[in-house]
Amino acid sequence: MKKDSFKLNAPHKCFNVLGNELRYKIIQSLTLSEKSVLELCNELEEEQSKISHSLTQLKECSFVDFKVNGKERIYYLKSDVFTKNKPIFQAIAEHVEKYCKYKY
**CATH code at 55?**
1.10.10.10
pTM for the structure as a whole: 0.77
- 84 lies in some domain: no
Beta bridge partners of 75: 35, 66
**Residue 19 domain boundaries:** 3-78
Residue at 85 is within a domain: no
Q: What is the pLDDT of residue 102?
A: 57
Question: What digits encode the pLDDT tens for the residues 20-29?
Answer: 999 999 999 9
| 48-79 confidence digits (pLDDT tens) | 999 999 999 999 888 899 999 999 999 999 87
Nearest to 74 by CA among 89, 60, 55, 61: 55
The radius of gyration of the chain's CA atoms, rounded to the nearest angstrom, is 15
Total number of domains constituting the chain: 1
Q: Rounded mean pLDDT of 15-37?
A: 92
Q: Residue 86 has what DSSP assignment?
A: S
